Structure 1
């Protein structure tokens, strides 16, 4: 009787381990096509929100301006193995000091941000921050947490897409990520800049500058939505302390000022 019980126990344990081993060999993401479905949802969301922006905002398409922004972006991408063509970057004519990432690698930059940055490196730091949100998949994490993945999934195939697009746009353009994700994006941006031989200090100076200004100003969205801007500037400076900075300006000072002037005249 005891031998029979032990034998049955061994069969049960062996069966458990065989089942566990079998399941461990499955790629559940592929098995349930979760990754594929998520990518399709993200693509639909990004395009849906971008269409909403196109319908409601003035987009700057001046070739000279677009090329200048691309020149500022290029060293960040080249030095960090980021495919430039994977990013869809647009300049929107708006006074707000703002930039934000959307699903499916869309990145929106307001003209007010370009005009307000005293140094080109500050703008590159903000661009790097938003690219980090894209590369680290922060955008979908934020939307899944605040809106709910099931709602996003339903909306991409429903009739209320426009309404949801406006809600998502408001969420992404006027509210910060949680502190952990914001810090990860900040530090990642600094790493991008260091690898590209771009000085990160102007990024910290930009945050200090904004922290000293009136945060209730509606035209200062990017900083006012990041309330710990002074603390963030401090940990950026702490992070680069002791690191070798090989700074090289992407644009000449003349070209940088011309870029800002062209944007302001649009």
Structure 2
């Protein structure tokens, strides 16, 4: 009986020693998981953006770029987001779309800028995409749909162009799951409220998309009608009862001039 007790004490003691030893090990550091993931994200983001540059018309007009930045800056300033960390690109394309890529790339199509009736609607979309970046939704989506090991292989492989096209299609033409989309929507609304920007036009924009029957002519930022109506509703529910300070970032004249210049580019 005494021997059994001694053996039990030894077993428990060994277990505690092993547990304590493992608890002192920083496995993330030991296996460089975080470092590898960050390197992978940078390589993937740059690889996909290179693919976009090769196949799309990138807007380089300084006036247009500065105007978009004027709308973006208040969201960043009011929410402690490093504006310089965001790589914002404008693509000449009629599609009503915007999307985030790995490594903080944010792509906006001219079709989206032209279609927004109010500047606050565009700011809401920008905030939504920034939220995807800040909340690490981009890599979560790719890891879930493509697989972490495949992404790791792609970042260090030779079939860059082929994989870049697949990843670009995944990020630009398919929605995140509803949980992530809702988190990005509500986070964008919070960004706007902090920046004294009225979020109601963002909900109006979603409802506008839901009512648009011509879905074949463009790939819309909002993929399907019922979901866009639902999203508009929970945004309005979230802001109900909140004090909204409406302070347009641009004058109406400057906003219209921006849209006109984008359309003529």
Does TM, scored on the shorter chain, surpass 0.5?
yes
Q: Secondary structure at the match of 2:221?
A: helix
- Once residues 152 and 84 of structure 1 are traced to their aligned partners in structure 2, the CA distance between those partners, rounded to angstroms, is 27
Aligned position for 2:25? 26
Q: TM-score, normalised by structure 2?
A: 0.97
Give the 3 Å change call, closer, same or farther, for CA 220–164 of structure 1 in structure 2: closer
CA contact (8 A) 2:210 2:225 kept: no
1:85-100 equivalence runs, <5 A = 85-100=84-99
Instruction: Give aligned pairs, total.
Output: 265
List structure 1 segments (4+ residues) > 4 angstroms apart after TM superposition: none
- Once residues 126 and 112 of structure 2 are traced to their aligned partners in structure 1, the CA distance between those partners, rounded to angstroms, is 11
Aligned position for 1:156? 155
Q: Secondary structure at the match of 1:94?
A: coil
Q: TM-score, normalised by structure 1?
A: 0.97
CA contact (8 A) 1:216 1:224 kept: no
- Once residues 213 and 45 of structure 1 are traced to their aligned partners in structure 2, the CA distance between those partners, rounded to angstroms, is 34
Aligned position for 1:176? 175
Give RMSD over aligned pairs. Answer: 1.1
CA contact (8 A) 2:59 2:92 kept: yes
For residues 187-207 of structure 1, the C-alpha deviation after alignment (integer angstroms, 9 at most, x for no partner) is 110111111111100000000
Aligned position for 2:5? 6
Q: CA deviation at 1:149?
A: 1.1
Structure 2: segments with no counterpart, 5+ residues: none
Range that drifts further, 4-13 or 59-68 = 4-13
- Once residues 132 and 198 of structure 2 are traced to their aligned partners in structure 1, the CA distance between those partners, rounded to angstroms, is 20
CA contact (8 A) 2:211 2:225 kept: no
Q: Secondary structure at the match of 2:222?
A: helix
- Once residues 27 and 71 of structure 2 are traced to their aligned partners in structure 1, the CA distance between those partners, rounded to angstroms, is 40
Q: CA deviation at 1:62?
A: 0.5
CA contact (8 A) 1:210 1:223 kept: yes
Q: Is 1:192 matched with 2:191? A: yes
Structure 1: segments with no counterpart, 5+ residues: none
